Amino acid sequence: MASSILEVDKVTKYFRGLKAVSDYSLTLEKGVIAGLIGPNGAGKTTVFNLLTGVFTPTSGTIRLHQQDIAGQRLDQIVSLGMARTFQNLRLFTKLTVLDNVLVAAQINKDYGFWAAIAGLPSFKKGEKDLRERASALLEDMGLLHLADELSGNLPYGDQRKLEIARALATGPRVLLLDEPAAGMNPRESQELTETIRIIRDKYDLTILLIEHDMHVVMNLCDNIQVLSYGEIIAEGKPADIRSNQQVIEAYLGRAAANA
């Protein structure tokens, strides 16, 4: 039987008078790639912010591996195995590509402060392991040849891929991707689709993604939820979503017109 890794039950979030997310529920089975789509302002990013502790739900529960995480700090949630990328990139633009990944990789590793400053073998070994792991992640994302570049010098599409490598460096089981294909051309987004599948398999991930590129969403996702004004208006397989009249009216018609 499939086991659910993330269970969100009737989560609602008010911002003063505004109901940004209303009775939102989600069950993510291990290994799936799920999509969250909908018009601007529908509440998609708010869902990610609720899942990662940026906001505490007004009501409802969020369970990761059966543990209640609603309102916990991001570092606690990361240590429980959830990582995310952001719609607006959050790279350290003055650090190299490799160092960006190394900084993220440190989050779940503690080789000890004293071992670090004394240069003890345990730290050296740990550091070597981290570098190898970071390089492997860069290779997975097709960025290894850019390891020594300043991340701020990378083309936008590569910066988005670096954000994914950084999220992976924390060792997640659940990965949240906020518009991973934004700003990519059709060839790049096609490659990204393949890469996301490969990393899902390689790292045994469960993935939830927000995306406006309907080619990516329809090709990649096993299940899709559609949000409109904070409410789920449809949920199902890509083929069901594509032909759902309410979804076409609320979103897909517009998305197609803007494509």
Ligand X SMILES: Nc1ncnc2c1ncn2[C@@H]1O[C@H](COP(=O)(O)OP(=O)(O)OP(=O)(O)O)[C@@H](O)[C@H]1O
Q: How far is the CB of 236 from ligand X (least distance, A)?
A: 19
Beta carbon nearer to ligand X, 3 or 40: 40
Binding mask 183-222 for ligand X (x = CB under 6 A): ----------------------------------------
- Binding to ligand X by CB under 6 A, coded x per residue (else -) over 43-82, reads xxxx------------------------------------
Window of 42-50, 194-202, 232-240, 243-251 that interacts with ligand X by CB under 6 A? 42-50
Binding status of residue 22 toward ligand X by CB under 6 A: no
DSSP 96: B
Task: Please state the three-class secondary structure of the chain as a single string.
Answer: CCCEEEEEEEEEEEECCEEEEEEEEEEEECCCEEEEECCCCCCHHHHHHHHCCCCCCCEEEEEECCEECCCCCHHHHHHCCEEECCCCCCCCCCCEHHHHHHHHHHCCCCCCHHHHHHCCHHHHHHHHHHHHHHHHHHHHCCCHHHCCCEHHHCCHHHHHHHHHHHHHHCCCCEEEEECCCCCCCHHHHHHHHHHHHHHHHHCCCEEEEECCCHHHHHHHCCEEEEEECCEEEEEECHHHHHCCHHHHHHHHHHHHHHC
Please pick, from the candidates 10, 15, 68, 118, the single residue that binds ligand X as defined by CB under 6 A.
Answer: 15
Q: What is the closest distance, in whole angstroms, from the C-beta atom of residue 33 to ligand X in the complex?
A: 19
Residue 42 touches ligand X, criterion: CB under 6 A: yes
For ligand X, how many residues bind (rule: CB under 6 A)?
12
Contact with ligand X (CB under 6 A) among 2, 3, 17, 40: 40
Q: Which is nearer to ligand X, 140 or 213 (CB)?
A: 213
Phi, psi of 218 (to 5 degrees): -70, -30
Q: Which stretch binds ligand X (CB under 6 A): 40-48, 70-78, 168-176, 250-258?
A: 40-48
Only segment of 27-35, 39-47, 233-241, 251-259 that touches ligand X (CB under 6 A) = 39-47
Residue at token pair 């007004």: 58
Task: Name the residues that contact ligand X, by CB under 6 A.
Answer: 15, 18, 20, 38, 40-46, 87
